Structure formats: C-alpha cells, structure tokens
Amino acid sequence: MDAQEVVAEELSARGLTLATAESLTGGLLGGLITSVPGASRFYRGGVVAYATEAKEHVLGVDGDLLAAHGPVSRQTAVAMAVAARTRFGADYGLATTGVAGPAEQDGHPVGTLFVGLSGPAGDRYAALLGTATTRDGLRAWAVGEALRLLVEELGLTGA
C-alpha cells in the first residue's frame, strides 16, 4: 500500500482531516492525496503558495518571520502547516517548502526540503536534503517525505 493510501485509510478510520500548503511541490502533494478514491472523507483542501508574497498574503505567514528566516526554512514550513490547518479547519496541516532548482536559493542548495506538520499533538518539522538529479525527481521525493512525516505522526512507522 502506498503512503497516500495508508494516510487515507488511517485518517478516514479515525475521522480526522488533512489540509496542505505547498511551495516547491506545486500541488503535487494535494494531487497525490486526492488520487485516492474517497479522499473527500478526510481531505479539506490545499493552497499552492509558490511565491513568498503568497505565503504571506494568501496563507497568512507572518511577514516578519519570512523576513527573518526566508521562505525556505523550518519556521516557514511550520507556519505554512499551521495556516493550512487553521484556514481549512483540519485536524492536520502538512506543508512543503524548499529548493527544486535549477539553482540554489537564498544560500540553500538544490534539494533542500523543509516539511511542516501541525496537528493535535503540536507542530513539528523535517529538514532534509534530497539527491535526486531532476526537478521532477526532487518534487516527487519531497511529496514522499511529507507523507512519511505524517505516517510517522499517526504512529504508523511500520506501514
């Protein structure tokens, strides 16, 4: 069973909901989640906030936080997750921000990924560096890592 199917089954069984906020994955995460039949039982929606201004003005990420830490940071990933959770009224918010290339951004190398997760137990993040050699490869890897973090949060690390 793929990670998105595990997440769908578990969230549905527990009566929990999910919302997403994406930057470098550009809607790939929400697309994969909604590829699961019955996703409407648990998926509230998502926002693609690719530009820094969208993170601030659409999601409501604090401008001072963005100025201090930049759009590619653990702080921004967590703030995006909190915003998704809050704006959609979901139990969990899951967010991705990073650098898919072709060049580094604000001193972060291509492959930098921050995943933010906000849920009933609090907020957490993962900071990772991918080694995929293509933009599409990095984006697909980032989606997998975001789902992995949620699977772990749900206590399904053996899934």
Give residue 93's pLDDT: 98
129-155 residue pLDDT tens = 998 889 999 999 999 999 999 999 999
Q: What percent of the chain has pLDDT over 90?
A: 92
Better-predicted residue by pLDDT, 17 or 106: 17
Contacts of 88 (CB under 8 A, 6+ apart): 17, 19, 44, 45
pLDDT of amino acid 158: 53
* Per-residue pLDDT at 156: 86
Sheet with 122-129, strands from edge to edge, namely 43-48, 18-22, 92-98, 112-119, 122-129
Residue type, 20: T
Q: What is the pLDDT at residue 72?
A: 97
Give the pLDDT score at 66. Answer: 98
Residue 8 pLDDT: 96
Element (H, E) at 99: none
* Residue-level pLDDT at 132: 87
> Residue 111's pLDDT is what?
95
* Contact in structure between 149 and 138 (CB atoms under 8 Å): no
Task: Answer whether residue 159 shows pLDDT above 90.
Answer: no
**How confident is the model at residue 29, as a pLDDT?**
98
Give the global pTM: 0.96
CB 69 within 8 A of CB 127: no
Provide the pairing of β-strand 112-119 with 43-48: unpaired
Q: Which residues contact 10 (CB under 8 A, 6 or more apart)?
A: 16, 151, 154, 156
Q: How far apart are CA 11 and CA 139, in angstroms?
A: 24
pLDDT in tens, 14-50: 999 999 999 999 999 999 999 999 999 999 999 999 9
